[in-house]
Chain A
Amino acid sequence: MAVLQTSKLYKNFGPVEVLKDINISIEEGAFLVLVGPSGCGKSTLLNIVAGLEKASAGDVLIDDRVVNDVAPKDRDIAMVFQSYALYPTMTVEKNITFGMRVRNVPRQEREEALQRVAKLLHIEPLLRRKPSQLSGGQRQRVAMGRALVRRPKLFLFDEPLSNLDAKLRSRMRSEIKQLHQQFGATIVYVTHDQTEAMSLATKIAVMSEGEIIQLGAPQELYDRPNSVFVADFIGSPAMNLIRGRIEARDAKPHFVADHDGTQVALPIDHYDFERDLRADQELILGIRPEYITSGIANHHGAVSVDLELVPLLMETTGFDQYVMFEFCGGELIGRFSSKESIDVGRPHRVQLDLSEISLFDPEAEFRV
């Protein structure tokens, strides 16, 4: 049974199409993350699910019930906002119980729910304070408390962590993840941060310009992006994208990139094509930085190619270092252990592991 379902959802603001044909379905206990660059329509979609905005066409179903004309308060949802939206004149306690007071929940029940949530989020000492007396992280917790207190069918999070500093953000991220695992709550979560999406989601919808480009499990999106956009958006640093064409060498298909007379041919006969190709069709080859190494971490039975490349730039993350090489007039980023000594300008022997590549059509930008 789907907790949330949207079918053929459209939204226009005048002539501008903000959402186009959105079809989503999530099961109970799912953690769906809507991710995309700003202005892609993800927040609008969330607002439509919440009932705060009306769709121009299509249906929203919560628990298999069409809720297009149901007010937000009757949709059995709770929402956490980017700015937390705590009521400034009320204490933390009043903030959390506001929804129940408006709905005339008996005092006893209110009190119990409040204590349960306060304990869960470790905010018992803050209950008598006003929002202005709280730090960013504490406000975030209170906002979550306000959502958790009513045990709704569906939780909606609208970029809840983007106002926090990096350290607090990763801590709150794991707390949200914990809450999800603990209660099996069903969550729709909006963010523009792909790291957040990858680490939280059981299902990700990558959106761009009002459309869902790809919908799937995080690992699926990472390993088999269906388009150049997803390949580029998911993963940090982004997937390397190399332009070239398909060519037969020794009767086997190869990906050939050339630049100023030098040619590089990469075997792709192992690649699981999704579409038929013409001979000598133009292609984009995508390869993740972790598959460009010194060859030490060689995967067993992997298809690989050794190349001599010139490092242009290095960036260390402590454990790893990302090295940018010059490659066929473009750049190629590889991931190396920071123990390895690599110098800018001195050619380095590099192994390209081709077992997990993606190939895209350069015009339509979809996976082939």
Chain B
Amino acid sequence: MTSGHADTKAVLMRPAPKRRTGRGWTPALLRALLFLILGLFVLYYSLPLFVMIVTSLKSLEEIRAGSLLGLPQAIELTSWKTAWESACTGVSCHGLKPYFWNSILLVVPAVVISTALGAINGYAISKWRFPGSNVIFGLMLFGCFIPFQVVLLPMAITLGTINLAGSVAGLILVHVVYGIGFTTLFFRNYYVTVPDELVKAAKVDGAGFFAIFTRIFLPLSTPVIVVTVIWQFTNIWNDFLFGVSFSQGGSQPITVALNNIVNSTTGVKEYNVDMAAAIIAAIPTLLVYVVAGKYFIRGLTAGSVKG
């Protein structure tokens, strides 16, 4: 004990604290504190999801009687079934199922088209510079920052003029137009890091604009394609404003249907069905992240092409 005392004294007298030889309780405490804080954040973030899942598995009586955080006494899957097949959105009562397919039919073409256009745009702007290409890129960048609400009315008029109002095709067009700015930005920033000499070499070899794009640039683009697809998929799937503004009746996307389920209550509010419906609506985006998430990080950080 005496030696320990002397040790502490020696440590105190030194100008800089020497942690390794000390008792080591300070770093351990700091570490514990760190984990405590991180743990609290994790709790804070996962609590809503927990409540959603738990609530969706409870029966209505239990929800009304029990506490919000309590585990269900018996697992009931009926609310999931209801949400999927028979919950009422306004007058019709077919659940989320038809709208889920609506969303798929909307999102897949919109993502594919906007990503493909972004890739070609980014390639042209970064590797085939023409007079005014910087201005065009600047305008596209500007387009990324226009709030959704601003374009609602002009877009509605445009869709009306070209006879696409209220159709899935119209909604796809809206998302493609709105997404091109972002997708072009992603691809352009990625292709800028590809050396210009590759294009020159291919030109001398005899390849043209599209041959260079499909044979040299596309095979290099996996990371940026993944990033763009995740970004577009999430945004378009989760979009509510365009969906509610430019679609009608049976062609509405799932976000609008979810809203209708939650808001069209007759009598008792079925919290368990609402929660199940919300989770169903969120599953595809979660899946995309789980499947392609690691490319997302890689694509965002890496950009250079090692030749």
Whether B307 and A102, one on each chain, are in contact in the complex, defined by CB atoms closer than 8 angstroms, is: no
Within the complex, what minimum Cβ distance (angstroms) separates A78 from chain B? 7
Whether A81 and B206, one on each chain, are in contact in the complex, defined by CB atoms closer than 8 angstroms, is: no
Q: Is B61 part of the binding interface, using a Cβ–Cβ cutoff of 8 Å? A: no
Q: Is B204 part of the binding interface, using a Cβ–Cβ cutoff of 8 Å? A: yes
Q: Is B203 part of the binding interface, using a Cβ–Cβ cutoff of 8 Å? A: yes
Within the complex, what minimum Cβ distance (angstroms) separates B250 from chain A? 44
Choose one: B197, B207, B306, B307; the contact of A98 (CB below 8 Å).
Answer: B207
Interface residues of A in 40-88 (CB under 8 A from B): 47, 50-52, 71-73, 77-79, 81-88
Whether A88 and B204, one on each chain, are in contact in the complex, defined by CB atoms closer than 8 angstroms, is: no
Choose one: A85, A86, A102, A132; the contact of B207 (CB below 8 Å).
Answer: A102
Q: Is A339 part of the binding interface, using a Cβ–Cβ cutoff of 8 Å? A: no
Interface string of B31-54 (1 = CB under 8 A from A): 000000000000000000000000
Chain A residues near B216 (CB-CB < 8 A): 87, 89
Q: A79-B201, A83-B197, A88-B220 are in contact. Are A73 and B307 (CB under 8 A)?
A: no
Interface residues of A in 108-156 (CB under 8 A from B): 131-132, 139, 146
Whether A72 and B307, one on each chain, are in contact in the complex, defined by CB atoms closer than 8 angstroms, is: no
Whether A98 and B203, one on each chain, are in contact in the complex, defined by CB atoms closer than 8 angstroms, is: no
Q: Is B211 part of the binding interface, using a Cβ–Cβ cutoff of 8 Å? A: yes
Within the complex, what minimum Cβ distance (angstroms) separates B197 from chain A? 4
Whether A79 and B219, one on each chain, are in contact in the complex, defined by CB atoms closer than 8 angstroms, is: no
Q: A73-B206, A88-B220 are in contact. Are A79 and B200 (CB under 8 A)?
A: yes
Choose one: A72, A77, A85; the contact of B198 (CB below 8 Å).
Answer: A85
- A73-B197 Cα distance, complex, nearest whole Å: 15
Chain B residues near A29 (CB-CB < 8 A): none
- A90-B217 Cα distance, complex, nearest whole Å: 11
Q: A82-B197, A83-B197 are in contact. Are A88 and B205 (CB under 8 A)?
A: no
Whether A102 and B200, one on each chain, are in contact in the complex, defined by CB atoms closer than 8 angstroms, is: no
Q: A85-B195, A89-B220, A102-B211 are in contact. Are A146 and B205 (CB under 8 A)?
A: yes
Q: A88-B305, A132-B306 are in contact. Are A102 and B220 (CB under 8 A)?
A: no
Chain B residues near A87 (CB-CB < 8 A): 198, 201-202, 215-216
Within the complex, what minimum Cβ distance (angstroms) separates A140 from chain B? 12
- A131-B197 Cα distance, complex, nearest whole Å: 15
Q: Is A103 part of the binding interface, using a Cβ–Cβ cutoff of 8 Å? A: yes
Chain B residues near A139 (CB-CB < 8 A): 307
Q: Is A99 part of the binding interface, using a Cβ–Cβ cutoff of 8 Å? A: yes
- A71-B206 Cα distance, complex, nearest whole Å: 9
Of A83, A85, A98, most buried by chain B (CB within 10 Å of CB) is A85
- A102-B212 Cα distance, complex, nearest whole Å: 10
Please list the 5 inter-chain residue pairs (A to B) with the smallest Cβ-Cβ separation, ordered nearest first. Answer: A99-B205, A73-B206, A85-B197, A89-B219, A85-B201
**25 intermolecular pairs with C-beta atoms under 8 Å apart:** A50-B200, A52-B200, A52-B204, A71-B203, A79-B201, A81-B197, A81-B200, A83-B307, A85-B201, A85-B307, A86-B307, A87-B202, A87-B215, A88-B198, A88-B305, A89-B220, A90-B219, A98-B202, A98-B207, A102-B206, A102-B207, A102-B215, A132-B306, A132-B307, A146-B201
